[in-house]
Chain A
Amino acid sequence: MSQQPYVFQTVASRPPPRPVGGLLPWIQRNLLDGWTNVLITLLVLTLLALAVPPMVQWGLLNAVFGPDNAACRAAAAATNTGACWGVVAEKYRLIFFGRYPYEQQWRPMVACALMIGAIAASCYRPFWRGWLIGLWALVLGAFFVLMMGGRFGLVPVETSRWGGFPLTVMLSTVSLLIAFPLAILVALGRQSKMAGIRTICVLYVELIRGVPLISVLFMASFMLPLFMPQGSTIDVLVRVLIGMTLFTAAYLAEVVRGGLQALPKGQIEAAQSLGLGYWQTTFKVVLPQALRLVVPATMNTFIGAFKDTSLVTIVSLYDLTGALQLALGDADWRKFFFEGQLFVAAIYFVFCYAMSRYSLWIERHLNTGTRRQ
């Protein structure tokens, strides 16, 4: 018996679902969803209402922006106190460049700009070619020549006068550049099957990670001169650099080790079956994958290294934090230390926040192969 062929019957289309978008439904969902939420919203709103208008009044409306000491004092003494951003306008050169000679301050400015340019160029993925190393060598050379002087007709300026922002940038960049390859070697050594090398690497990492950075800096500045043979001296800056590099390398080594451990063993076995030697496997198969896995932790360490340069204040090198202390030893402006500190905190915040955003971006960018969606 033949059946009737099934004829597709269309069903009357239903009306489209009501949009849940729009401001009011969003507010209802996010702020007023249940009694606890209403309570929290009210609490936070009261907090903001109490805190924000006075801050805006103090920071913007009643504030003094020009380098006028008398106006600043008046604003501070008035009943509606205002911030004195004039302290920044007055002392910004001392904060940014420390004790560098006044007329020569264009040199650290250019040197900083070059360094930041090189960092920005290194962030851009299409630039990750061999010539980047050449660029870095050039920029570092130019930086030191500009800051030290003595060549090309530039007035020599000794390292004890370097300070402020160039010092921060130089310390963090140079120590990271040296610490990164060192960390990779130490992490590889820690994974090694050779007990001797493994012990050395373990001892180094555990010893350095167990002590605070201050003690490493003290050790570098007090004890390194004793380590040198009789009759030679090392510059104070080089000592601090060595201390910071060793410290950062220990932390980076642990991060890289995490990446090495997360790599499936099959990768190494496959490389060996292809006949690749140890160093070929490491540089062509293991490291690219391992480093990609630990990008967030690596960037975290980079940000940490940038912030840790503030500790050199304690060994009397006047980086950005230290230069602020120096700038505000002036009796007239000491009252407005808070505004100066907020300004320096804002500088650090801008750079660290930019680095953490970049970290998120590069992580997404590099993991296109492994992302699930």
Chain B
Amino acid sequence: MKPARPAPPKKRDWSWRSQALRSVLYQVVALALVFSAGYYLLGNTLDNMRLRGIKSGFDFITQPAGFGIGESIIPFDSAESYGKAFAVGLSNTLRVAVVGIVLATLLGTLIGIGRLSRNVLLRSLCGAYVEFFRNVPLLLQLFIWYFILTETLPTIEEALRPLPGVFFSKNGLQFPIPVWTDSHVFTLAGLALGLLGVWWWGRQSRQHFEVTGRSRPVWLPGLLLLIGLGLLGWLAGGSPVALDIPEKSELNVVGGGSVTPEYMTVLVGLTIYTAAYIAEIVRGGIQAVPFGQHEASAALGLSRGKEVRLVLLPQALRVIIPPVTSQFLNLTKNSSLAVAVGYPDLVSISTTSLNQTGRAVECIAIIMACYLTLSLLTSWFMNAYNRRSLLKER
């Protein structure tokens, strides 16, 4: 029988050399450094502000702004508060960001697919587009677009009139818009019903396809449904035809909807720049789909168009969505460059308020808070979409 081995030494519960202690120590030191640095900086800031007699606080938000804003979808008067001015700036930023995201995605997807075309001319053209617009800074591109728009368009006196009621000049594009009356509610109701109808028809035809294997046309009937129901709603409302048509006054064109050259510059510049990045991402996504998928669709006899639409793009979405999300965020943040071409977005209005009230810290904090919120909302929304497109694994 083997002799009993001596009992192993008792494990101590605590050691001064343990990793647990070291990790606690490091964290305490790191947090202490950060907090003391923060305290030092904050202390300096408060000291400096007190010594120099700089007022601080957010009370200026309710004061009347005293400046006008060149363009906005919310009417703004110079007697309204700074808070309202910031809201108008935010609406201007959203106006250019949302439209820009939609247009850039469309354009970027088309160019990305064009980069993979069999036609060498189209491939090279799309490649040249991507290379050129990715390698020039966005600010320079905005300056160039603004220069083109303001130099080549005629002045308001000699405005281009492609259609009656449409003016295209250095002051922007002015066009007739329908006047809102209460009976337009019926039109909106009709359009909403039409959208519902399109969705229902899409579901129906998909179910029919899964049961019988035969596909029904979706786009044309859907469009007809939308337009038809909208028209019915309009008729039901008494067919209001009042239009607000722009007219020339002594100096300017008043009335109608308008889009300034600043807005057009920022929109076009941002769209073209971001589309170049999205094109590369889409191309990478499609190339990441296993080659066997292409061979299988060729074996099934699918045309290239159907193959891209039905086989490659849906699978490529998994790879595309995370980088495209960051491009959407970049577009929103790049819209802040509008301050250089005179578009009154959030940063521009915040700079004006900063100069008029002297509250630098507060105004910059407002800008950062707004952009942070926008970024978080966009990434949350895109992450939800991403989760839907992920591989459903066991």
A–B direct touch in complex (beta carbons closer than 8 A): yes
Footprint of B on A, CB under 8 Å?
A: 29-31, 33, 36-37, 40-41, 44-45, 193-197, 200, 207, 209-215, 218-219, 222-223, 225-230, 303, 307-308, 310-311, 313-314, 321, 325, 337-338, 341-342, 344-345, 348-349, 352-353, 356
CA distance A353 to B134 in the complex (A): 9
Smallest CB-CB A-B distances: 7 pairs: A196-B27, A352-B135, A212-B333, A307-B137, A310-B137, A212-B336, A210-B375
The answer to whether A214 and B119 touch (CB under 8 A), given A345-B144, A348-B140, is no
> What CA separation (Å) do A29 and B23 show in the bound complex?
64
Tell whether, in the assembled complex, residue A226 and residue B44 are in contact, meaning their CB atoms are under 8 Å apart.
yes
**New contact pairs (9) apart from A193-B23, A214-B339, A218-B347, CB-CB < 8 Å:** A31-B119, A44-B119, A194-B27, A195-B27, A200-B30, A211-B333, A227-B44, A313-B340, A314-B139
Q: CB-nearest residue of chain B relative to A307?
A: B137
Provide the main secondary structure of the chain B interface: helix
Given A210-B372, A348-B136, residue A37 in contact with residue B119 (CB < 8 A) = yes
Chain B residue with the shortest CB-CB distance to A308: B137
Inter-subunit contact B48/A230 (CB<8 Å): yes
Given A211-B333, A211-B372, do A44 and B121 touch, yes or no (CB 8 Å)? Answer: yes
CB proximity of B283 to chain A, nearest CB, Å: 14
> How far in angstroms is the closest Cβ of chain B from A367?
17
Residues A215 and B30 in contact in the complex (CB < 8 Å), given A223-B361, A226-B361, A321-B137: no
Contact A222 B135 (CB under 8 A): no
Chain A residues within 8 Å of B134, by CB: 352, 356
**Which residues of A are found within 8 Å of B252, using beta-carbon distances?**
none
The stretch from B187-195, B224-232, B363-371 touching chain A is B363-371
Please determine whether B136 and A345 come into contact, CB atoms closer than 8 angstroms.
yes
Contact A215 B367 (CB under 8 A): yes
Residues of chain B within 8 A (CB-CB) of A197 are 26-27, 30
**Residue numbers in A under 8 Å from B151 (CB-CB):** 338
A301 to chain B, nearest CB (A): 12
Asked if residues A356 and B135 are in contact (CB atoms below 8 Å), the reply is yes
B69 at the interface (CB under 8 A from A): no
How far apart are the CA atoms of A228 and B351 in the complex, in Å?
22
- The verdict on A338 contacting B147 (CB below 8 Å), with A209-B375, A211-B367, A314-B340 known, is yes
B47: interface (CB < 8 Å): yes
* A303-B135, A352-B134 as given contacts; A341 in contact with B351, CB under 8 Å: no
From B27, B31, B34, B334, A212 is in contact (CB under 8 Å) with: B334
B: number of interface residues (CB 8 Å):
57
With CB as the reference atom, state the residue of chain B lying closest to A254.
Answer: B326
A225, B23: Cα distance in complex, Å: 35
Partner of B143, one of A214, A307, A341: A341
- Please report the C-alpha to C-alpha distance between residue A344 and residue B147 in the assembled complex, in whole angstroms: 14
Report the separation of the CA atoms of residues A337 and B145 in the bound assembly, to the nearest whole angstrom.
12
Q: How far is the CA of A33 from the CA of B117 in the complex (A)?
A: 11
The verdict on B125 contacting chain A, using a C-beta distance below 8 Å, is: yes
Complex Cα distance, B143 from A314, in Å, reads 12
CA distance A314 to B350 in the complex (A): 14
Let me know if B337 and A214 touch, CB within 8 A.
Answer: yes
Residue from the list A31, A313, A348 in contact with B120, Cβ < 8 A: A31
Our pick among B119, B122, B371 for the contact of A215 (Cβ within 8 Å) is B371
Interface residues as binary, B262-304 with A (CB distance below 8 Å gives 1, 0 otherwise): 0000000000000000000000000000000000000000001
Select B140's contact among A210, A213, A215, A321, beta carbons within 8 Å.
A321
